[in-house]
Structure 1
Amino acid sequence: MKTYSVTELGNMDSITRVTLKEKLDLTGAEISANRLPAGAEIPFAHSHKRNEEIYIFTSGKGLFLLDGTKLPVKEGTAVRVSPSCVRSIRADNTIGLSYFCIQVDEGSLVQATQNDGIISEEKPQW
């Protein structure tokens, strides 16, 4: 049985939204790759019942509406949003906005990398 899964997203500028749950057989997170063209926006606001979301903006700029607060975002901005926060996103009028959204069950992280990682006895064979 394979211990990893791989998918290709292709040109990130040509996607609108790609969800990775099925493509990567994810069991503990939902991840989507997203792109809004210049001037575009998510046409609704939403919150969640259980899932917190982490947004990682990879190119462009725009506004992130968080409980009524307009937060400017750009390449390199990362934002954690609690389940109850009402949110939406708008790309700047002059440039599109690309980002990853990672959903996980709030409070579910039991061990972080330093406590969960196991150093292998095997050296990497490049």
Structure 2
Amino acid sequence: MNNINFSVVEAGPFSSLMSMSKVPIPGKYFLKDRLGLTGMEVSLNQLPQGGSIPFYHTHRENEELYLFIGGRGQFQVDGQIIDVKEGTTVRVAPEGERTLRNNGTGDLSFIVIQVQAGSLRQWVETDGVILDKPVTWQE
């Protein structure tokens, strides 16, 4: 569903990401093009039990925020190992050498938000505008 002021994509359950990804990376579902995002990239990710990212990577300009929403695993940044689980968040600067593995039982589910480092100029306290109009819902 697309509108001038919003867009919606129904990606389905995280448990289906391995079979529905349309990129060369199984279990990774990118949202930038699907939603028409203009200031960030967001991906929905599922890493199966025993799975791992088989390489380290960095970025040229973008920092990443990893939001873990299910399962257990380990995240490695610059040689430091961090145990991750539902509720863990990890921010990595562009230069951080990172990789990830699922050493838990079951799938490791997480969301990655990627944005140009140092680009945030406004946030909810300085950018949000509360409108003087009542909230209504159609029944």
Match of 1:12 among 8, 11, 14: 14
Structure 1 residue 94 displacement after superposition? 2.1
State the AA in 2 paired with 1:106: A
Match of 2:131 among 106, 116, 120: 120
Alignment deviations for residues 2-56 of structure 1 (CA, whole Å, 9 cap, x no partner): 2000001101112011000011000000000000000000111100011000000
Alignment deviations for residues 69-108 of structure 1 (CA, whole Å, 9 cap, x no partner): 1110000001110000000110124222100000000000
| Aligned CA distance change for structure 1 residues 72 and 120 (closer, same or farther; 3 Å) | same
Provide the rounded CA distance (Å) in 2 between the counterparts of 1:81 and 1:2: 33
Aligned position for 2:90? 79
Match of 1:29 among 26, 29, 40: 40
State the AA in 1 paired with 2:136: Q
Higher strand fraction: Structure 1 or Structure 2? 1
Structure 1 residue 112 displacement after superposition? 1.3
State the AA in 2 paired with 1:38: Q
% identical equivalent positions? 45
TM-score, normalisation: structure 1: 0.96
Stretches of 4+ moved more than 2 A in 1? none
TM-score, normalisation: structure 2: 0.88
Structure 1: segments with no counterpart, 5+ residues: none
How many equivalent residue pairs? 126
RMSD (CA atoms): 1.0
